[in-house]
């Protein structure tokens, strides 16, 4: 058992029971909350005050565009990021000598760009690998959104383009 998990067990036994000792990110967050506020994360999550929920009309719409369209957008986005500052951003992260297990170092594209900078991947290989990682992440999100939200939430299955907004708004009972 990790030292942080043991401390969480003393300060917030319910959270420690819920979290696996190897889930270092959630353990750190639970400790951060209790140490900085004196209240557990569960206490904060049960509190239903504040926010803008009463001031706006919120309606859910699950976006499930055709996968080919989504994957094409993922590929375009990663290629654009690669050419517009992502390489420099990863260089700056590497210069900080961060632990490779911190969340930012596990972000999509960091590993691929790091391999490109180290010369173990060509630019084309790094872009291709980053695009694949992005598509995999999008697939996991797509699958979750296809099956987890309540069945009564409307699903929008067209490409998410400006020309499709009237149809999306119609599903919400709104108009453009």
Could you tell me what percent of the chain has a pLDDT over 70? 97
How far is residue 50 from each of residues 44, 54, 59, 102, 154, measured CA to CA in Å?
A: 12, 9, 19, 31, 27
Of the candidate ranges 26-30, 46-50, 109-113, the one whose mean pLDDT is the lowest: 46-50
Domain limits, the chain: 3-46, 63-148
Provide the 3-class DSSP secondary structure of residue 52. coil
Would you give the DSSP letter of residue 155? E
In the numeric block, the tokens 């000792």 are attached to 21
Options 3.40.50.2300, 1.10.287.890, 2.40.110.10, 3.40.50.2000; CATH of 63-148: 1.10.287.890
Topology of domain 3-46, per CATH? Histone, subunit A (1.10.20)
pTM of the shown model: 0.72
- Report residue 50's pLDDT band, with 50, 70 and 90 as the boundaries: confident
Do the beta carbons of residue 124 and residue 149 sit within 8 Å? no
The tens digit of pLDDT for each residue in 83-105 reads 999 999 999 999 999 998 888 99
- The C-alpha angle 155, 157, 163, rounded to 5 degrees, equals 110
Q: What is the distance between the alpha carbons of residues 5 and 8, in angstroms, rounded to a whole number? A: 5
Q: Is 30 exposed, middle or buried (CB count within 10 Å of its CB: 0-12, 13-18, 19+)?
A: buried
pLDDT confidence of residue 138: 97
Nearest to 155 by CA among 165, 164, 146: 146
pLDDT confidence of residue 58: 81
The tens digit of pLDDT for each residue in 55-81 reads 888 889 999 999 999 999 999 999 999
Residue 175 scores a pLDDT above 70: no
């Amino acid at each position: 058992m990790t030292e942080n998990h043991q401390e969480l067990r003393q300060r917030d036994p319910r959270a420690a029971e819920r979290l696996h000792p190897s889930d270092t990110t959630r353990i750190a967050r639970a400790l951060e909350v209790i140490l900085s506020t004196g209240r557990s994360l569960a206490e904060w999550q049960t509190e239903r005050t504040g926010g803008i929920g009463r001031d706006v009309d919120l309606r859910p719409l699950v976006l499930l565009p055709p996968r080919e369209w989504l994957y094409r957008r993922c590929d375009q986005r990663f290629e654009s990021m690669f050419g517009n500052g992502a390489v420099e951003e990863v260089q700056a992260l590497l210069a900080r000598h961060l632990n490779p297990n911190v969340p930012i170092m596990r972000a999509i594209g960091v590993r691929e760009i790091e391999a490109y900078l180290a010369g173990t991947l060509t630019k084309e290989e790094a872009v291709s690998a980053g695009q694949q990682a992005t598509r995999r992440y999008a697939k996991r999100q797509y699958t979750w959104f296809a099956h987890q939200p309540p069945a009564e939430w409307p699903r929008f299955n067209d490409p998410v383009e400006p020309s499709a907004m009237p149809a999306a708004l119609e599903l919400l009972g709104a108009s453009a």
